[in-house]
Structure 1
């Protein structure tokens, strides 16, 4: 492990709130395996991954989806994938991810186009292909026709779907920015330096499939048809099975059905200007299921509205970090998968 990786890890883990992540020095078993892969392939122990560590199989699931879509060297340039990540994050009002992936895109040579995507000024993106892809990614339900070849759908659709998941997790567990409060000039300079470092890491080659063995094989469900017959479909299937298994003892069947019903009719718009819409949606739900229901609904449909009230009520019912991560992860991935299910079928590539 490099000195930078050790220092960056110590700085980054305090970004995580509401759960206590596993420290790198004490990471063993599956957590240790994932941490080593993250440090090798991402360049540092990224907080959006490490926040999952109280629930090791869920940690492996998040990493597998992220690695096999964004990081693996495939047919789509990494800069294009970072543009999708930044655009989806902007659509989901996730400033933490916008800053990180906007900086990475800048470091890869995105220049003014990267800044425009991060700021949501898509009309100012000079590259017409990148502008079209960013507009597609900004669609909250990915309903527009994809402006790229069908063979690229597993990679670019995969990045979009995984960031619909990651954004929701980050909104619940991380602070709004990876940087401390800084004057505007200092902030710009810090982001420029971060972009240079992240761009260097993003240029590394990452071999496909390395993370798959972290989780057992699982059947590919119909909602992953967009991923075709690819390792990306395999990654999402394994990850989805792990997240489902972790959530079984935590999220009641009634709450699962309620969320799936709402998502089937959802157009991606925020359900309300305040979180009170969740209380109305839970009318008639037994009292002992309201706390988990509220957390699940808010996470899936407006994760930025998850506050201490929702988390505290859940913890009153189940104080374990692993349970909180499992419930939030299930809600976030269910929403992301429902969004992905609206994509066209992917090409049968390997």
Structure 2
């Protein structure tokens, strides 16, 4: 495939089989976007594809909380992570909810007039640096909002690493009319009530569910994604894995400077460099960074797993900060 994919040749929907085809079919029905590149890019690894889709579906799309409110969180996380593709996508999806003014306010980086939306946007942005605390929502809805935030901390990093910035051909989403029309085309799908848990049967990995999920489907999905993404650590030595974890913790969620000793060289530790960039500054990954690690021995499957390892390392660090104040289950 060509188009938005920077370093991989994913499985196109028309050629997909098995669980990949099942995910694509559920995407088309429940998300309303048949060829969503955010997920297609993960198709070289079905466990990553199923985990990422399940987490997005069970936190953002399904559940009892307001879809508009959760879209504000998705947009806020994407703004904090400097992911223009995802900011544009969630502007369109906010248009799809029918709140066109809110969509454009968020897209401009302004504060929504509604106090609830303003608080959620601020909370979502603060999750990157670990300063967010409990989401400003009823306790029963907290798993959906935490799950949504964690989903997009992971997805933003995948997108910024492996896709171009243009959500639509020719960067057409930069026009307000295009954003509004694209959103209107998805309005019926966005307003549907989905059955929680319908994606969980697709998961190919599993693990212990997080306490914050309180038994919700979002927790099962997060556990599946976490286990699949951790597999990418096997592409690094134990020393390099520790290096990446320590550097992510030391970053404090800040966007690093272009210079400094925080990033290892391409020649000495190319895998650690690529995983660390995916974790803290995926928008700075270059062709040279990928080529220095990849060589002839690493496939698309390897590349998406290494990027996912960096992404989940950062996401787990954010998760720990978000839930540090909670009582153990």
Q: Same fold by TM (over 0.5)?
A: yes
2: CA distance between counterparts of 1:195 and 1:348? 41
Equivalent in the alignment of 2:176: 188
Equivalent in the alignment of 1:328: 307
Report the 3-state secondary structure (helix = DSSP H, G, I; strand = E; otherwise coil) of the residue aligned with 2:103: helix
Q: What is the aligned-residue RMSD (CA, Å)?
A: 2.5
Correspondent of 1:295 among 274, 294, 307 = 274
Report the 3-state secondary structure (helix = DSSP H, G, I; strand = E; otherwise coil) of the residue aligned with 1:319: coil
Say whether residues 1:228 and 2:210 are aligned partners: no
Structure 2: tracts of 5 or more residues without a match? none
2: CA distance between counterparts of 1:182 and 1:261? 37
C-alpha displacement of 1:294: 0.7
Is this contact kept in 2: 1:136–1:147, CA < 8 A?
A: yes
Correspondent of 2:49 among 49, 59, 62 = 59
1: CA distance between counterparts of 2:311 and 2:81? 12
C-alpha displacement of 1:237: 1.0
Deviating more after overlay: 143-152 vs 58-67: 143-152
Q: Deviations over 1:127-180 (max 9, x none)?
A: 110111111101123423432222222100111111011111110111112123
How many residues of Structure 1 are paired with residues of Structure 2 in the alignment?
325
Q: Name the TM-score, length of structure 1 as normaliser.
A: 0.85
1: CA distance between counterparts of 2:296 and 2:139? 46
C-alpha displacement of 1:196: 0.7
Report the 3-state secondary structure (helix = DSSP H, G, I; strand = E; otherwise coil) of the residue aligned with 1:109: coil
Is this contact kept in 2: 1:68–1:209, CA < 8 A?
A: yes
2: CA distance between counterparts of 1:300 and 1:201? 32
Structure 1: tracts of 5 or more residues without a match? 1-9
Report the 3-state secondary structure (helix = DSSP H, G, I; strand = E; otherwise coil) of the residue aligned with 1:34: helix
Equivalent in the alignment of 1:341: 320
Equivalent in the alignment of 2:86: 97
2: CA distance between counterparts of 1:309 and 1:50? 24
Correspondent of 1:133 among 94, 113, 120 = 120
The 1:86–1:176 alpha-carbon spacing in structure 2 relative to 1, beyond 3 Å, is same
Equivalent in the alignment of 2:197: 209
Say whether residues 1:170 and 2:149 are aligned partners: no
Say whether residues 1:70 and 2:56 are aligned partners: no
Report the 3-state secondary structure (helix = DSSP H, G, I; strand = E; otherwise coil) of the residue aligned with 2:42: coil
2: CA distance between counterparts of 1:316 and 1:177? 27
Equivalent in the alignment of 2:132: 144
2: CA distance between counterparts of 1:149 and 1:314? 46
Is this contact kept in 2: 1:150–1:347, CA < 8 A?
A: no
